Structure 1
Amino acid sequence: MSNIAIPYGAYWSTPFVRWQGSFAHLHSLKFAAHVAKGALQKRKLDVGVFDHAALGLSVPQKGVFYGMPWLAAQLGSESLTGPTISQACATGVRLIQSVASTLREGDATVALALAADRVSNGPHVYYPAPDGPGGTGEHENWVLDNFNCDPNTGCNMLKTAENVAAEHGLTTQQQNELTLLRYQQYEEALKDDSAFLKRFMDLPFSVPDARFKREKAVLQGDEGIFPTSAEGLAKLKPVMEGGTVTFGGQTHPADGNAGMVLTTPERAAELSRDRKVGIRLVSFGQSRVRAGFMPAAPGPAAQRALAAAGLKAGDLAAIKTHNPFIVNDLVMSKELGIDARKMNRFGCSLVWGHPQAPMGIRGVIELIEELVITGGGYGLFVGCAAGDSAMAVIVKVQDES
């Protein structure tokens, strides 16, 4: 994968907004096109440079059947096309892998990866059953019903966290201590008028109305993050009776979108904000653990990515995780032999939320920027996903001056 590059600065993310917030009225694909169009213009990237694109999403919207071709048309391209990728919370990394594979096979030279989800106001789906009793079919609330029940195991996602916490003997106090640190790490991203976020997020962020004609609101950053203290966390009771996981130790559903350009090293230098910064994709890893133990999946996925790269955990200069539960980080740090306190500098999805498809793209972007700030090296992003699975990616940032 070392022949696949990401031009420095050729990526972006919206703020992430807690569901039913400032993005709840926006069609996720139309919104993604709106944001991408502005982001490309600001980065002086013409849509005509792309010969491949792919879309990642996990919550359907009206018209999504037409996927990337429709989104590309909104960007002003009637020739750009590509697949739609969906793998719950692993969608972002899977999307990057899919685009990278297309580039590696020589089917494209400059590609665009866009991921978008609006978890707010998710669709209510009816499945006709003409042969059923009275002809009545089945229905589901796409978001809430699937959060609450894995059709394979019958348990909800919180139960998977409790299963893993029980197996590893993790207490609420342990979870609270690391949760508090994660919020303190996010505070570093907000320093100096959100200087870290402004490296990839166009702030202040103008929120359009549903017709994309007028400005409805202006955001200074992520929306819906509650102030968190040790005392506040200690007051929270476990959500499940007899359990250990509180609302403080888990993430929240959110809305947003993100994009990234992938290409060859030669074209990356041409499209980069800074030619001296080289960013390469190194390897990927995936895993699936036993049923009902989702938060344990990141460790094996990370180990596979490390093995594919010929690296050890100690070779990593930075680690970012998707942690819907703080349990994820506690277990993976134990399995990889790393200090959980040294992961997730500048924040993570536990804090800024969980819009599923774009979440992994933002995680990789933040990983890249952390490596640029700290002088380069190898970085790992990994996160779990529905179905007790996980995806991991390793990138390398180096000085190419």
Structure 2
Amino acid sequence: MSKDGAFPRVRIPYGTWGSSFFPAWQSSPLAEVNIGQAAGEAMALILGRRRVPARALEYLVIGSTVPWHWKFWTAPLVSSCLGHRLPGCHVEQACATGLQAIAVAALEVQGGGNDAVGVLTFDRTSDSPAGVFPERRGPQRTAVLSDVWDNFGFDPATGGSMLAAAGKAARRHRLDRREIDEITLCRYQQYFAARERGFLDRVLVPLDLLTSAGRPAGRVAEDTGVKMVTLDGLRAMPELDSCVTAGGQTHPADGIATLLVTSPDKARDLSPRPEIEIRLIAKVDVRTGPGLMPEAPALAVQKLLRQTGLGIDQIAVIKSHNPFTVNDAIFSKLLGVDWRAVNRTGSSLVWGHPQGPTLTRIVIEALEEAVELGGGYVLVMGCAAGDVGIAGLFLVS
């Protein structure tokens, strides 16, 4: 790989991003709206606050995992809700969707097809639709009702649940329950410290929502469902599987997150601070053994470091999508990283997991943290659907 990385033509204009807060499942005003329409309107609001004209965009990449009404029409419909009719596409890769959508946008720019691509990711677990599928294997075409939630409880490759994958990975790596509780407490402390000092105010945008009938649906201005935990409280929780408790796993949520991917010239034109340059250096995916999802992000990072020739000690900011504390414990063990140095401004373990926008929000927070530190390499990682890991490397200068 060249010193400029795999995407030398690609930049992410600083400050042209934003995310909603992530209200917890069934406490969310996003349950009352068409999520695709709401996402387009939210992107228009965020771009307006960043003083970026929607007409500057040439293409839109959207990402979501939960079906929504009119999803067939994907990005062209959502862009109309943004107020700017654009071509575009839809990306879906379970919990890796947010980072994968950024990579797809980067390929659009790197290939020269477009100079300014919007990335808009969203999901709403509060409205979990069910599909009816004809079952053709039996003597009769009986209807099979499949709910989106079924995917969390059943991996077709193993027959086990996501929870079982976390327990299996914990046993494989001989994790210590005491350390798992300590990491969990640290993650909550990191989130609340970042919130209290105003860091999250730089990336999270409150949203006032209307129903499809034009009535107020409510205001999204808090990561609802997040309460501080104690070490004694975590210690008292029963294990649902090896080292995994209710405190050491994330919760379903709703959310929207957006950023721009552009050419260098467009980045300078659109960013409120054009002197800050953000590059996407590399993105990798790996697949580990069946039902070992929590170890996959660490393996993806190892592959990425081999490809780039960097050492983990050269990374300024490390952030993970960690649906289970087990993920972070394994990463710390395999990479030799102090887990206190990871997720310093919060993580999805605490603020929730709406799949599509999860890694997009993580990327935004990680880049903002790097700017605050004065620059450096930024490492973002996550897992997806049973045994897949993804990792991305950015450079802020």
- TM-score normalised to the size of structure 2? 0.95
CA contact (8 A) 2:23 2:220 kept: no
What's the % identity of the aligned pairs? 38
Counterparts of 1:92-241 in structure 2 under 5 Å? 92-129=98-135, 132-142=138-148, 144-192=149-197, 195-202=198-205, 205-211=206-212, 213-240=214-241
Number of the residue aligned with 1:314: 313
Letter in 2 for 1:250: Q
Secondary structure at 1:182 match in 2? helix
Letter in 1 for 2:386: G
Is 1:249 paired with 2:255?
Answer: no
CA contact (8 A) 1:95 1:113 kept: yes
CA contact (8 A) 2:195 2:201 kept: no
Counterparts of 1:320-331 in structure 2 under 5 Å? 320-331=319-330
Letter in 1 for 2:161: N
Letter in 1 for 2:272: R
Offset, 1:373: 0.8
Letter in 2 for 1:15: F
Offset, 1:45: 1.6
Number of the residue aligned with 2:276: 277
Runs of 5+ consecutive residues of structure 2 not aligned to the other structure: 1-6
CA distance 1:164–1:131, change in 2 (3 Å): closer
Is 1:53 paired with 2:56?
Answer: no
CA contact (8 A) 1:284 1:304 kept: no
CA–CA distance in 2 between the matches of 1:255 and 1:63?
18
Greater displacement, 145-154 / 133-142: 133-142
CA–CA distance in 2 between the matches of 1:228 and 1:335?
27
Number of the residue aligned with 1:5: 11
Counterparts of 1:348-363 in structure 2 under 5 Å? 348-363=347-362
Runs of 5+ consecutive residues of structure 1 not aligned to the other structure: none
CA–CA distance in 1 between the matches of 2:87 and 2:299?
34
CA contact (8 A) 2:135 2:141 kept: yes
Greater displacement, 218-227 / 362-371: 218-227
CA distance 1:212–1:349, change in 2 (3 Å): farther
Number of the residue aligned with 1:38: 45
CA distance 1:50–1:229, change in 2 (3 Å): same
Counterparts of 1:384-395 in structure 2 under 5 Å? 384-395=383-394
CA contact (8 A) 1:288 1:387 kept: no
RMSD: 1.4
CA distance 1:212–1:299, change in 2 (3 Å): farther
CA–CA distance in 2 between the matches of 1:50 and 1:351?
33
Number of the residue aligned with 2:336: 337
Number of the residue aligned with 2:291: 292
Counterparts of 1:58-69 in structure 2 under 5 Å? 58-69=65-76
Is 1:24 paired with 2:23?
Answer: no
CA–CA distance in 2 between the matches of 1:262 and 1:7?
7
CA–CA distance in 1 between the matches of 2:381 and 2:213?
34
Greater displacement, 131-140 / 330-339: 131-140
- Per-residue deviation, residues 96-155 of structure 1 (Å, max 9, x unmatched): 11110111010110000110100112111100247744431222111x211000011100
Number of the residue aligned with 2:96: 90
CA–CA distance in 1 between the matches of 2:33 and 2:240?
31
Secondary structure at 1:88 match in 2? coil
Is 1:75 paired with 2:82?
Answer: yes
Offset, 1:318: 0.9
CA–CA distance in 2 between the matches of 1:383 and 1:305?
13
- Per-residue deviation, residues 24-65 of structure 1 (Å, max 9, x unmatched): 222221110121111111112222111111110111111101
